[in-house]
Amino acid sequence: MRLRLIFTLFALYAITAAPAFLPGEWRVIVQPATDDAVEVYYQPISPVMLRSYEGIGPFHRALEAAQVRAEAHPHDLAPPYILHEPYRLVAPCVTARGRELAAPPISGVYRSDTTVSPYMIVPQVEWAENSQAELTALMEMEDGPMEETESLGMGLEPELNRVVLEMNGFDQDLRRRLARHYGRLIAVKWDPFGQRAWIY
């Protein structure tokens, strides 16, 4: 019965909202963001399960250094992330000063079990909408998005430059309420089969 309901909902959204499938991110945008409502997306397969991580070690080290930069200049930079196939370190900025802070190459030595390899990685600097400071403040807000009844979890998604609220249900009032309270800092990840981990 529940499975039938899910397929019915998908059919309804296909007709009314024209979902967009983004294969590189394995996301289906069920409801796009508007001026007064947040984006809702569904991710049937996590990209983590499909990616190869061979040779990514130096990029992880560079990502850690870029994260330190973002935390040191939270009003100028946004959270960095790694793109795959091929690997690239993306260092987003929100100000002109941030663009200068994000651009310098990151170098070091990566040690694996069998090799020691020097590396120098030039960040791919891109403009972002939301800063590290804004996203962190939302994550740390008391009585914030996690107070929504159907919320399952919340996390910062650097590639989306959003805080993502995972929910097993949503409606248009919720989308508008989240947009009214948090603007474009937040998106909803819809997990129709998800259950909240209650602590007793």
Provide the CB-side half-sphere exposure for 143 (13 A, CA). Answer: 1
Helix (DSSP H) and strand (DSSP E) numbers for the chain: 5, 11
Q: What band does 50 get if pLDDT is binned at 50, 70 and 90?
A: low
pLDDT for the residue 135: 98
Residue 10's nearest CA partner among 40, 45, 46, 34 is 40
The whole-angstrom distance between residue 158's C-alpha and the CA centroid of its chain comes to 4
**pLDDT at 4 > cutoff 70:** no
User: Residues 6 or more apart from 9 whose CB is under 8 A from it?
Assistant: 192
For range 22-33, the mean pLDDT: 76
Average pLDDT rounded to a whole number, residues 68-94 = 96
**Could you tell me if 165 and 189 are in contact, meaning their C-beta atoms sit under 8 angstroms apart?**
yes
% pLDDT > 90, the chain: 63
Across 23-27, 49-53, 57-61, 167-171, least confident range: 23-27
Segment 68-80 mean pLDDT: 98
Q: What average pLDDT score do residues 27-39 get?
A: 93
* C-beta separation of 199 from 173 below 8 A: no
In whole angstroms, give the CA distance from residue 113 to residue 15.
53
What mean pLDDT value characterizes the chain?
85
Q: What is the pTM of this model?
A: 0.81
Least confident of 9-23, 86-100, 138-152: 9-23
- 123-to-15, 60, 70, 104 alpha-carbon distances in Å: 41, 12, 13, 7
Q: Which of 100, 79, 101, 98 is nearest to 90 (CA)?
A: 79
DSSP string of 51-107, one letter each residue: ---TT-HHHHHHHHHHHHHHHHSTTTB---EEETTTTEEEEEESSHHHHHHH-S-EE
pLDDT in tens, 127-167: 999 999 999 999 999 888 988 878 899 999 999 999 999 99
Answer yes or no: is pLDDT of 200 > 50.
no
Q: What is the CA radius of gyration of the chain?
A: 19
3-class state of residue 124 by DSSP: strand
CA atoms within 13 A on the CB side of 8: 5
Per cent of the chain over pLDDT 70 is 82
How would residue 114 be classed by pLDDT, with cut points 50, 70 and 90?
confident
pLDDT band at 197 (very low <50, low <70, confident <90, very high): low
